[in-house]
Amino acid sequence: MDLTKNLTLPELPYGYEALEPAISGEIMRLHHQKHHQAYVTNFNKALHQLSAAVADGDTSAVVMLQSSLKFNGGGHINHSIFWKNLAPVSEGGGVPPKGRLGSAIDEQFGSLEALIQKMNTHGAALQGSGWVWLALDKESKRISVETTANQDPIVTKGPTLVALLSIDVWEHAYYLQYKNVRPDYLKNIWNVMNWNYASAVYDKECPN
């Protein structure tokens, strides 16, 4: 990785209003253009500082930069995945998974409803800021529901984990529309969940 090269804000694969009414255009605009952009900007800044510190051999500075790198880098990683996890209804958002991922869910969770229930319960119970994930263990091929705090990426829960789906439960992800009623946000987001992405990742990591 070239520490002096700037990362950029990825484009949204759909318009800002495309996920309504599940997620409002106002939220999508702020979330993408302000929050995600801030993570990118600050991550670039930290990377530049890291590059300088490494060049100077300044170990203390390198260590001090770790929390900013983790937070902003994690924020960039997580949101980049998140935009792909969502899709407008017109492009298949909310359509349940068929194929092998669907079977795996039925086998490991009993039913899609049970999985959604579990993810929503974890999401509602998460204190403070964080994410809920549907994760795939690349080694064991098992899928699981995980949560991470703040902007910790899924790999912090296991180095062989990869994200199939994610839900951002930071308040900025839903507050303007749902206020404190996080459970309503969690219920509605499934209407725009992009199971195509999840199936594609699953099929790639679990070839027949």
Partner 1 sequence: MILLSCSSNHCSLSSNVMASAAAPSTILKSSSIFPHLGWGRRRRSCNLPSINRGVSKSTVAYYGLRSPPYKLDALEPYMSQKTLEVHWGAHHRNYVEALNKQLEKNDILYGCTLDELIRLTYNNGNPLPEFNNAAQVWNHDFFWESMQPGGGEMPKLGLLEQIEKDFGSFDNFKDKFIEAALTSFGSGWVWLVLKREKRCLAIVKTSNAINPLVWNDIPIISLDLWEHAYYLDYKNDRAKYVNTYMNHLVSWNAAAARMARAQAFVNLGEPKIPVA
Which residues are documented as binding site?
31, 79, 168, 172
* Burial classification of residue 61, based on how many CB atoms lie within 10 Å of its CB (0-12 exposed, 13-18 middle, 19 or more buried): middle
Interface with partner 1, residue 204, by CB under 8 A: no
| H-only helix segments in the chain | 25-30, 37-56, 59-64, 66-68, 74-85, 99-109, 112-125, 175-178, 182-189, 195-205
Displacement of CA 166 from its chain's centroid (Å): 4
Least CB distance to partner 1 at residue 168 (A): 12
Q: Which CB atom, from 83 or from 202, has the smaller least distance to partner 1?
A: 83
Using CB under 8 A, pick the residue from 128, 159, 207, 208 that binds partner 1: 128
Separation between Cα atoms, residue 49 and residue 200, nearest integer Å? 37
Q: Which CB atom, from 34 or from 142, has the smaller least distance to partner 1?
A: 34
Interface with partner 1, residue 35, by CB under 8 A: yes
Interface with partner 1, residue 176, by CB under 8 A: yes
Using CB under 8 A, pick the residue from 151, 166, 194, 199 that binds partner 1: 151
Binding span for partner 1 by CB under 8 A among 28-36, 90-98, 131-139, 194-202: 28-36
Closest C-alpha to 21, from 148, 183, 177 = 177
Least CB distance to partner 1 at residue 71 (A): 5
Binding span for partner 1 by CB under 8 A among 9-17, 54-62, 124-132, 140-148: 124-132
Residue 36 makes CB contacts below 8 A (sequence gap 6+) with 9, 75, 76, 79, 80
Least CB distance to partner 1 at residue 108 (A): 28
Separation between Cα atoms, residue 144 and residue 201, nearest integer Å? 14
Using CB under 8 A, pick the residue from 129, 188, 191, 196 that binds partner 1: 129
| Interacting residue ranges for partner 1, rule: CB under 8 A | 30, 34-35, 38, 67, 71, 127-130, 149-151, 170-172, 175-176, 179-180
